[in-house]
Amino acid sequence: MSVWVLVVDVCVCATLAFLLLRRYGDLAKQQRMVLLATLLAWCLCFIIVFTIPLDVSTTIYNQCVIDNHRVISTTASRSNQTDNSSVFPTQSVSKVCHKPWSYIPDGVLPIFWRVVYWTSQSLTWLLIPFMQSYARSGAFSISGKIKTALIENAIYYGTYLFIFCSLLIYVAISPQWHLSWYNLRTIGITAANTWGLFLLVLLLGYGLVEIPRSYWLASCHGHLLAKTYFKVAKLMTEKAEAEENLEDVMEDVRGVNESIKYNHPLRKCIDTILKKCPLEYQEKLGRNMDDYEDFDDERNSCPSKKSLVKLHKQVIYAVQRHNRTQVQWQILLDEAFHLEDVAKNETSSAHQFIHSFPSVQPSRWISKYIYTPTAEWYWECVLRRWCCRVLAVGLCVVSVAVVWSECTFFSTQPVLSLFAIFIQLAERQYNYLYIQVVCFIIIMFLCYCVYSTVFRIRVFNYYYLAPHHQTDAYSLQFSGMLFCRLTPPLCLNFLGVIHMDSTISHQQRQQTSYTSIMGSMQVLSFIANGFYIYYPMLIVLLCIATYFSLGTRCLNLLGFQQFMGDNDLTSDLVDEGKELIRRERRKRQRSEDGQNRRKEWMEKYTARSRSSYSELRENTTDLTDSRRSQSGREHGDQSELLQDVEPLDFNEEDLQDVADRRYGGGRYLSTSASRTRIFDDV
């Protein structure tokens, strides 16, 4: 049973990671190694999160077994020491330990955790940074890309090496510590978890407030529409900048393409750059190359290979940014049109949701029988806002419980952490299913707060996770790197919150297999007893700052436009976005009207052509029959009239041709020769 639980766990995590990668990455165009590294990083992080509840339930069962052994051994020792003359001998009753349905035997989870943890750490600290530089490199060969990646990561790896050597010297000169492989491994794990916990608290403090607030504001249709107008105005500016940047880069490519002719040794590099350009630019540059002359060193100044590498990198970035803004523009327009349709349908008395621009895709059976226009009206105009509000209130309650538990999890007597109380109550009754469900809900909410913040943040244009297959390779790998660095300290913090980490709770109990892999944090006592306990309390200040939007206000003061309802600049951008949506609506309406007119004209023309063809066939049949009967009657008269006339030199074919020209009603009356003689000379 345990093997199947882990197999199903791994399959579910792999499927979830693949669907997420399919939404954000381009599986057809991006490099296979980039996709594989990102998929593996996300999958390993999800495996850690999904397996922690199984580890907790297995540890609780093992603790019950250990307690029973202690009771039995204590009872045996006391029975040997008890006087035979005692009237009331002491008796101890052992507990009945029920094995959980997902029990994993001893020795399986430690090996599983070692493979998962060290693979994820190797990805995040060694492989993914190298692959980021490799993917962004503009070199034209594999060796050139590897060389560029090594040079760019020299400072990165050098910093890690300096920190590791400093810690190594510190441990070596400390008299209370013995330099061993176990201590070195623990120091490395502690350093990685400290870095991850530092960033984790920042992201968690933002997500605990912003996620419930975003769902509450989603129920306010006016706020949602105004924010969409704001996004449209900002995206229009970014779209114009991307188009201008692409034009500038394509102008540089055109100049380089003209200077380097077909017989130049660097022509292969130019061909590689041209393949990365959009199709319209490739056709334009290809037509211009027809008038170029051969290469002449004296008359043309050719760029160096280093400048071509730089240009190649600029082309990749400019094309990716241009494509992303174009796709996001169309998606944002559809979203704005939909919100405006919701505002119009809210006052409708027919309770039928009417779209301004019906979908061109064929309707599915769900829209025909389940999600009908009436059901869509009730969902969009009535039920959706109340569902968002109920969900926002529930998430707010969980957020308050998380903040309280993060500030009080160090207290074991009395137990103040709410999540620790829930787990201990279920542990007394050995309700393993309840334990796993509670652990899964808590850790999934923490992961949702952290991971959603990772997907929301944007570092200028260098890191940006854009849906609909518009995320570049660098951003995909950067997200995988962040996931691998944040997930281990997140799970370790969760185990401390529910008092399953003896290093923080200072309780003598069975450790989970996950914490046993981490090693004893007491090697660095100032981190285990200080930073890990008191730093999470900073989450209260971060939640307060997020509630009052201090970060948004600071960015707005620095010149980065953020959506703020009480700001004049925000109002101007909202008005600008509204005007842009109005213009795009008119443009799309004219386009659809033109298509509808062409479609109606084609239908009328097709119907008229069919009716004319059928009438023509009927008239042709009637005229042919009448011609045959008339020619039969007149044949005798003509023969009599021609008996006294001098015979002419006509053959039968000429006579038939004359008869056809005279009595060919409905036919094309041609004065040319017979049709049988047209191709005689061919």
User: In this predicted model, what pLDDT tens digit does every residue of 221-262 receive, in sequence order?
Assistant: 899 999 999 999 999 999 999 999 999 999 999 988 888 877
Give the least confident one: 59-63, 367-371, 563-567, 585-589. 367-371
Print burial letters for 573-609: b (CB count within 10 Å at least 16), e (below 16): bbebbbebbeebbeeeeeeeeeeeeeeeeeeeeeeee
Q: What is the pLDDT of residue 615?
A: 66
Residue 181 reports pLDDT greater than 70:
yes
Residue 205 reports pLDDT greater than 80:
yes
What is the spatial distance between Cα 256 and Cα 289, in angstroms, rounded to a whole number?
12
Q: Which two tokens stand for residue 144?
A: 């050139």
What is the spatial distance between Cα 551 and Cα 554, in angstroms, rounded to a whole number?
5
User: In this predicted model, what pLDDT tens digit does every residue of 105-146 receive, in sequence order?
Assistant: 888 899 999 999 999 999 998 899 888 888 888 888 888 888
Q: What is the pLDDT of residue 519?
A: 65
Q: How confident is the model at residue 642 (pLDDT cuts 50, 70, 90)?
A: very low
* One-letter-per-residue 3-state SS of 447-464: HHHHHHHHHHCCECCCEC
Q: Are 416 and 240 in contact (CB under 8 A)?
A: no
User: What interhelical angle do 154-173 and 142-152 show, nearest 10?
Assistant: 40
What is the spatial distance between Cα 138 and Cα 253, in angstroms, rounded to a whole number?
14
Those residues whose C-beta lies under 8 Å from the C-beta of residue 375, and which sit 6 or more positions away, are none
Residue 18 reports pLDDT greater than 80:
yes
User: In this predicted model, what pLDDT tens digit does every residue of 370-395 receive, in sequence order?
Assistant: 888 899 899 999 999 999 999 999 99
Residue 681 reports pLDDT greater than 60:
no
Q: How confident is the model at residue 543 (pLDDT cuts 50, 70, 90)?
A: very high
Q: What is the pLDDT of residue 614?
A: 67
Residue 303 reports pLDDT greater than 60:
yes
Those residues whose C-beta lies under 8 Å from the C-beta of residue 196, and which sit 6 or more positions away, are 485, 486, 487, 488, 489, 490
| Chain center to CA of 590 | 33
User: In this predicted model, what pLDDT tens digit does every residue of 455-489 receive, in sequence order?
Assistant: 888 776 677 888 888 888 888 999 999 999 999 99
Report in angstroms the alpha-carbon separations of 533 from 195, 202, 530: 15, 15, 6
Average of pLDDT values for 590-607? Answer: 82
Residue 84 reports pLDDT greater than 80:
no
* Coil vs helix vs strand at 261: coil
Average of pLDDT values for 60-66? Answer: 87
Q: What is the pLDDT of residue 668?
A: 36
- Which residue in 506, 497, 505 sits closest to 537, CA to CA? 497
Residue 444 reports pLDDT greater than 60:
yes
User: In this predicted model, what pLDDT tens digit does every residue of 251-268 receive, in sequence order?
Assistant: 999 988 888 877 888 888
User: In this predicted model, what pLDDT tens digit does every residue of 324-337 receive, in sequence order?
Assistant: 999 999 999 999 99
User: In this predicted model, what pLDDT tens digit does every residue of 545-561 receive, in sequence order?
Assistant: 999 989 888 888 888 88
Q: What is the pLDDT of residue 510?
A: 81
pLDDT averaged over every residue in the chain: 80
Q: How confident is the model at residue 176 (pLDDT cuts 50, 70, 90)?
A: low
List 463's β-bridge partners, or say none: 459
Q: What is the pLDDT of residue 442?
A: 94
Q: Are 13 and 50 in contact (CB under 8 A)?
A: yes
Could you give the percent of the chain with pLDDT greater than 90? 35
Give the least confident one: 56-60, 421-425, 593-597. 593-597
Q: Are 502 and 515 in contact (CB under 8 A)?
A: yes
Average of pLDDT values for 71-85? Answer: 60
List 459's β-bridge partners, or say none: 463
Q: How large is the greatest C-alpha to C-alpha distance in the chain, in angstroms?
A: 165
Residue 515 reports pLDDT greater than 80:
yes
What is the spatial distance between Cα 566 and Cα 115, in angstroms, rounded to a whole number?
52
